[in-house]
Amino acid sequence: MNIINIEHIAKIYQVGLEEVHALRDVSLRIDKNEYVAIMGPSGSGKSTLMNMLGCLDTPTRGKYDFNGVNVSEMTDNDLARIRNKEIGFVFQTFNLLPRSDALHNVELPLIYAGISFAERRDKALKALVDVGLGDRVHHKPNELSGGQRQRVAIARALVTNPSIILADEPTGNLDSKTGEEIMQLFNEIHTKGNTIILVTHEEYIAEHAARIIRLKDGLVEKDEQVQNRYIPQKINSSVEL
Amino acid sequence: MRFILFELKEGMLIAFRALKANKVRTSLTMLGIFIGITVVVLMSTAIKGINNSFQDGISALGSDVLYIDKWAWFTNEEWWKLRNRKSITLADYEDFKSQVKLPIAVAPVINSQQTVKFDDKRVDGVFLNGSNADYVKTTNFTFDQGRFYNEVESNASRQVAVIGSEIATKLFPRGDALDKIIKIGNANYKVVGILAEQGSFILGPFNPDNQVFIPIGTIFKNFIAEHRGTVTFNVRAPNPALLEETKAEAEGVMRKVRGLRYDEENDFSINQQEGLMAEYNSVVGVIQIAGLFITGLSLFVGAIGIMNIMFVSVRERTKEIGIRKAIGAKKRTILTQFLLESSAICLLGGIAGLLAAILGSMALNQYFPTSIQVDAVIIAIGVSALTGILSGFAPAYQASKLDPVESLRYE
């Protein structure tokens, strides 16, 4: 079943007097439990596509069905609700609230979902334990390493049990060893049945996915299954990050 | 409804978290509101206090007493017209008193400022009143010791005096004034009565507490040549409801006494406390409004401070807003959060200001009558909450409108 169904989407920005075609004409489908990487050089439109997929932005033209619902013409509030319930974001720069501890950061989407204190505390704790941070729940982001911060962000993305996880260069700010650990975590999450969309410009990161969509100049250049998919080794579980 | 409460509660927690994270900034911003609320509340309680004591003072004058005088308390007439009026004499008084029927008491009064001495103690600039035994019936005087001088003493122009409570305390700190001989000007007087505390500070020298009363004949004999002074009649109506009737009768009788023809203007004025109140309101009312306006300005400056800080805060936290929106905060949620932040600053500042004002008014109360009323408390809290919402609205609205994509990119 399609989770994402995009038909002839275009996004045009007005910069001064010039029109910039960030996306010209993109169509794609993503199924449940897929693991997709979106690749492309800078300026190819992959960030724009990610914002579109993440319901942070709406297309200028075309149709976007999310779980069978047309989101391309939704109001800001409805989009906020979709982002809250259906989409888990993981960003390159982590984007945690700097003054709040890990637990509160993970709780935040549940607050916006209107879930009661006790229930969300349980869920947030469990999500943190799941990413291996059960002993760091009251640490603030600046007391955590890069890898740990990204784990908090992943816990935050998972806590609402969303339809898709949208990761934008999740290893971009991490050293290669830590990056590998994060990619392994994504692999686990995927194995558990989640749908993951990964935006990256690095080939070896993209090869963790099962399918790679390559963008160029606002068009899909190539959309193919990965032949030799790289499955990360289970690293020692007592990870020191 | 339940969801709104939930959002308010969570918004409040988030707001307090943000305020706690920025303690210095929060407290400096609060200071603006704190000062604003403190001065506004102090000002309004001081005004209230002055009003109250003025009311007290006015009612000491008696709402049922008319003062018939050559001079008018308040008038649009040229002063020289009043000056050219004939003086009112004791003979006029006898004439007037024998003809009026309504008043329960009529007393002639004339006064002079004198120094009162006992031993080495002295009080300068005392209002010295000369009248007759009926005077006390035109007042609500109560006595601490002794009595008012009687008809015999008054008719014989004896050297007797009734003194106000403050004069008594100043000259006789031990409270043994009765029957002592005091000196007014160059003559000796026996103290026959000491008034209990009567009026309020607001009347100044007009407060009976600062006055001395002697027989009118005595004052003419010692201080004022009879042909040069002009006498005032204190006319007391049976009750306040009959004041207008008493006034009408008094005017008619007075015109007869003064021998005025039907087409001649009154050559006297009938004064009453009502005019005093109106005059007070027109003068002091303006001062009060100006005072509240000026202190209100400081509150306004505080509000601008809050708005300014909230704008800075929104800009500084653009990224945070982007994150919150990305993970599902609605416009309304962001708006509520920032409004709650500014309201919390204002409310906390306002409550602190209120406490300071209460302490301040307690301290001031030793010099000056002040009173904190419940309405002042409600108004202070209401005004500070309103200030928070009004000054926080524009920044909060700006925050709620931010585009999530752009604010996430903001560094």
Q: What pLDDT, on the 0 to 100 scale, is given for residue A241?
A: 45
Which tokens hold the place of A239? 């990870």
Q: What pLDDT, on the 0 to 100 scale, is given for residue B203?
A: 60
Q: Is A140 on the interface with B (CB under 8 A)?
A: no
Q: With contacts defined as CB-CB under 8 Å, which chain A residues touch B405? A: 51, 56-57
Instruction: Name the percent of chain A lying above pLDDT 90.
Output: 78
Q: With contacts defined as CB-CB under 8 Å, which chain B residues touch A108? A: 324, 327
Selected for mutation to probe chain A from B5, B25, B327, B335 (highest A CB count within 10 Å) is: B327
CB contact under 8 A, B327 and A114: no
For the CA atoms of B89, B95, B96, B100, what is the dihedral angle to 10 degrees? 170
| Mean pLDDT for the stretch of residues B34-59 | 82
Asked whether residue B211 falls in the same domain as residue B255, the answer is yes
* Domain boundaries, position A90: 32-61+75-225
CB contact under 8 A, B408 and A54: no
Q: Is A42 on the interface with B (CB under 8 A)?
A: no
CB contact under 8 A, A80 and B329: yes
CA distance B184 to B218: 11
Q: Is the pTM of this model over 0.90?
A: no
B287 or B334, which is more confident: B334
- Residue B199 confidence class, pLDDT cut points 50, 70, 90: low
State the total domains in chain A.
1
Q: With contacts defined as CB-CB under 8 Å, which chain A residues touch B404? A: 56-57
CB contact under 8 A, B326 and A54: yes
Amino acid letter, residue B279: E
- Residue B376 confidence class, pLDDT cut points 50, 70, 90: confident
- Name which of B322, B297, B312 is nearest B387 in CA terms: B297
Residue A127 domain-assigned? yes
Q: What pLDDT, on the 0 to 100 scale, is given for residue A239?
A: 47
State the total domains in chain B.
2
**A158, A100 Cβ separation under 8 angstroms:** no
Q: What pLDDT, on the 0 to 100 scale, is given for residue B202?
A: 57
Asked whether residue B223 falls in the same domain as residue B363, the answer is no
Q: Is B185 on the interface with A (CB under 8 A)?
A: no
Q: Is A32 on the interface with B (CB under 8 A)?
A: no
Q: With contacts defined as CB-CB under 8 Å, which chain B residues touch A85? A: 328
| Mean pLDDT for the stretch of residues B283-305 | 86
Q: Which residue in A has a C-alpha nearest to residue B404's C-alpha?
A: A56
- Residue A79 confidence class, pLDDT cut points 50, 70, 90: very high
Of the residues B237, B254, B272, the one at which a domain ends:
B272
Q: With contacts defined as CB-CB under 8 Å, which chain A residues touch B18? A: 99
Q: Is B238 on the interface with A (CB under 8 A)?
A: no
Asked whether residue B50 falls in the same domain as residue B185, the answer is no
| Mean pLDDT for the stretch of residues B14-30 | 87
Asked whether residue B140 falls in the same domain as residue B46, the answer is no
Q: What pLDDT, on the 0 to 100 scale, is given for residue A62?
A: 93
* Domain boundaries, position B207: 64-272
**pLDDT tens track for B241-273:** 888 899 999 999 999 999 998 888 889 999 887
Q: Is A20 on the interface with B (CB under 8 A)?
A: no
Asked whether residue B52 falls in the same domain as residue B77, the answer is no
Q: With contacts defined as CB-CB under 8 Å, which chain B residues touch A54? A: 326
CA distance A175 to B324: 27
Q: What pLDDT, on the 0 to 100 scale, is given for residue B157?
A: 92
Distance from CA of A65 to the nearest CA of B (A): 19
Q: Is B10 on the interface with A (CB under 8 A)?
A: yes
CB contact under 8 A, A80 and B330: yes
Asked whether residue B18 falls in the same domain as residue B107, the answer is no
From the list B14, B17, B404, which residue is nearest A56 (CB)? B404
CB contact under 8 A, B326 and A97: no
Asked whether residue B75 falls in the same domain as residue B52, the answer is no
- Residue A128 confidence class, pLDDT cut points 50, 70, 90: very high
CB contact under 8 A, B327 and A83: yes
Asked whether residue B7 falls in the same domain as residue B49, the answer is yes
Distance from CA of B315 to the nearest CA of A (A): 15
CB contact under 8 A, B326 and A112: no
Distance from CA of B43 to the nearest CA of A (A): 41
Asked whether residue B165 falls in the same domain as residue B101, the answer is yes
HEC assignment per residue over chain A: CEEEEEEEEEEEEEECCEEEEEEEEEEEEEECCCEEEEECCCCCCHHHHHHHHCCCCCCCEEEEEECCEECCCCCHHHHHHHHHHHEEEECCCCCCCCCCCHHHHHHHHHHHCCCCHHHHHHHHHHHHHHCCCCCCCCCCHHHCCHHHHHHHHHHHHHCCCCCEEEEECCCCCCCHHHHHHHHHHHHHHHHCCCEEEEEECCHHHHCCCCEEEEEECCEEEEEEECCCCCCCCCCCCCCCC
Residue B23 has pLDDT above 50, yes or no: yes
**B306, B388 Cβ separation under 8 angstroms:** yes
**pLDDT tens track for A148-196:** 999 999 999 999 999 999 999 999 999 989 999 999 999 999 999 999 9
Q: What pLDDT, on the 0 to 100 scale, is given for residue A146?
A: 93
Q: Is B1 on the interface with A (CB under 8 A)?
A: no
CA distance B363 to B356: 10
Which tokens hold the place of B25? 């900034």
Q: With contacts defined as CB-CB under 8 Å, which chain A residues touch B322? A: 95
**B30, B349 Cβ separation under 8 angstroms:** yes
From the list B3, B319, B331, which residue is nearest A77 (CB)? B331
- Residue B205 confidence class, pLDDT cut points 50, 70, 90: low
Q: Is A91 on the interface with B (CB under 8 A)?
A: yes
**pLDDT tens track for B126-163:** 999 999 999 999 888 889 999 999 999 999 999 999 99
Q: With contacts defined as CB-CB under 8 Å, which chain B residues touch A58? A: none
What does each C-alpha distance from B325 to A77, A147, B6, B333 come to in angstroms? 10, 24, 18, 9
CB contact under 8 A, B330 and A96: no
Residue B213 has pLDDT above 80, yes or no: yes
Of the residues B254, B272, B290, the one at which a domain ends:
B272
CATH number at residue A110: 3.40.50.300
Residue A20 domain-assigned? no
Which tokens hold the place of B106? 């009529």
Residue B8: which H helix or E strand, with range?
helix B2-21
Q: Is B408 on the interface with A (CB under 8 A)?
A: yes
- Residue B291 confidence class, pLDDT cut points 50, 70, 90: confident
| Mean pLDDT for the stretch of residues B217-234 | 88
Q: With contacts defined as CB-CB under 8 Å, which chain A residues touch B3? A: 114
CA distance A204 to B395: 45
Phi, psi of B315 (to 5 degrees): -65, -45
Asked whether residue B136 falls in the same domain as residue B201, the answer is yes
| Mean pLDDT for the stretch of residues A110-135 | 93
| Mean pLDDT for the stretch of residues A33-43 | 92
Q: Is A83 on the interface with B (CB under 8 A)?
A: yes
Q: What pLDDT, on the 0 to 100 scale, is given for residue B256?
A: 92
Q: Is A68 on the interface with B (CB under 8 A)?
A: no
Q: Is B6 on the interface with A (CB under 8 A)?
A: yes
Q: What pLDDT, on the 0 to 100 scale, is given for residue B34?
A: 93
**pLDDT tens track for B312-331:** 999 999 999 999 999 999 99
Predicted ipTM of the assembly: 0.92
CB contact under 8 A, A80 and B319: no
Asked whether residue B249 falls in the same domain as residue B204, the answer is yes
Asked whether residue B139 falls in the same domain as residue B252, the answer is yes
Residue A235 has pLDDT above 80, yes or no: no
